[in-house]
Amino acid sequence: MISAQMVKELRERTGAGMMECKKALSETNGDIDKAIEILRERGLAAAAKKAGRVAAEGVIETYISDDMKNGAIVEVNCETDFVSANDEFTGFAKNLAKQAALTNAKNVEEFIAEKYIADENITIKDALTNLIAKLGENMNVRRFEKFVVESGVIQSYIHGAGRIGVLVEVSCEKTSDRLSGLAKDVAMQVAAANPLFLNRDQVNQETLEKEREIYKVQAMNEGKPENIANKMVEGRIQKYYKENCLIEQVWIRNADYTITKYVQEVSKEVGAPITITRFARFEKGEGIEKKEENFAEEVQKQMQQGK
């Protein structure tokens, strides 16, 4: 009899998927050591050993429902751009984007514990472990975000083969084909201009004070008297808003328009106010420290260890 505890122990020791562990234990009549050997022979016990390696490559994937009322964005990481272009890896990411749009999970841990949308017999975590073993690299599901809108649309944009992904939510009481086009334009704006905030209300006081401090030091270093420096600081704060708040940015497709002006114009066409409600912008590997190996140093280190 193969118990759940035996399967759990084998999974923890090998990092292999649940079904693979169960199969190996059945073949060895419950002998865990022999099951480990079988999994190693099949290349399925390698995942745990790879877990410490940095996964800063990968792909951003999005999913939008047919009615454009539901959408999600995910980042799935791997170690090399070679694997990030692999069909099985990208297929896995696409499945997760769709699953993220349906999930009620509040964080990644809850998300990967769910049954996998492409195979209800395993969890997302199991599917990930199996893929790690098959493709030979550490991987992880790093983050996801889900948008749902009642009145309006959700659109997405992927740039550079999954290097940058954007999800945008636009609200409007009227239904119009123009909404989808506007939302797509805004998603492209977010990808290209990388706004930090939707509007001024989202800029926290701490950020503003830090910027003011930097600008004041800059002005004083330019030899300006304090009263002039203070005026310059406020001018630069206004510039900061225009560069970093999405609705105040100059539209990348027409420099005569800000995003606000563009939205106002489409609102007139539609006959109802349009509001950009929120956005999410994921850039592959951002914030992950990728270890850069120096080959010459590595060889030298090995030679010294060999002495």
Asked whether 60 and 282 are in contact (CB, 8 A), the reply is yes
Q: How confident is the model at residue 295 (pLDDT cuts 50, 70, 90)?
A: very low
Domains identified in the chain and CATH numbers: 4-45 (1.10.8.10), 54-148 (3.30.479.20), 205-240 (1.10.286.20)
Q: How confident is the model at residue 176 (pLDDT cuts 50, 70, 90)?
A: very high
Q: What's the token pair of residue 142? A: 């790093």
Residue 83 has pLDDT above 90, yes or no: yes
Q: What's the token pair of residue 55? A: 């996964």
Please state, in angstroms and rounded to a whole number, the distance separating the CA atoms of residues 87 and 148: 29
| Assessment of whether the complete model's pTM goes beyond 0.85 | no
Q: How many CA atoms lie within 13 A of 128 on its CB side?
A: 23
Q: What's the token pair of residue 231? A: 């005026």
Q: How confident is the model at residue 300 (pLDDT cuts 50, 70, 90)?
A: low
Q: How many CB atoms lie within 10 A of CB 222?
A: 10
Q: How far is CA 106 from CA 30, 69, 142, 224, 286, in A?
A: 37, 19, 13, 50, 21
Query: Which pLDDT value is given to residue 75?
Result: 97
Please state, in angstroms and rounded to a whole number, the distance separating the CA atoms of residues 113 and 49: 21
- Sequence letter at residue 60: I
- What is the mean pLDDT of the segment spanning 55-78? 95
Closest to 238 measured CA to CA, from 263, 211, 257, 214? 211
- What is the mean pLDDT of the segment spanning 172-181? 94
Query: Which pLDDT value is given to residue 222?
Result: 87
Residue 12 has pLDDT above 90, yes or no: no
Residue 93 has pLDDT above 90, yes or no: yes
Asked whether 57 and 284 are in contact (CB, 8 A), the reply is yes
- Sequence letter at residue 119: D
Asked whether 136 and 158 are in contact (CB, 8 A), the reply is no
Residue 294 has pLDDT above 60, yes or no: no
Query: Which pLDDT value is given to residue 150?
Result: 95
Q: What's the token pair of residue 285? A: 């590997």
DSSP 3-state assignment of 278? Answer: strand
Q: Which residue bears the tokens 């493709």? A: 135
Query: Which pLDDT value is given to residue 50?
Result: 58
pLDDT tens-digit readout, 217-237: 888 888 888 889 888 999 999
Asked whether 10 and 2 are in contact (CB, 8 A), the reply is no
Q: How confident is the model at residue 4 (pLDDT cuts 50, 70, 90)?
A: confident
pLDDT tens-digit readout, 133-170: 899 899 999 999 999 999 999 999 999 989 999 999 99
Residue 299 has pLDDT above 50, yes or no: no
- What is the mean pLDDT of the segment spanning 11-38? 85
| Torsion region of 194: left, alpha or beta (phi above 0 gives left; psi -120 to 50 gives alpha) | left
Q: What are phi and psi of 306, to 5 degrees?
A: -80, -10
pLDDT tens-digit readout, 238-261: 999 999 999 999 999 999 999 999
Burial (0-12, 13-18, 19+ Cβ within 10 Å), 209: exposed
Q: Compare 301 and 98 and report the one with higher pLDDT.
A: 98
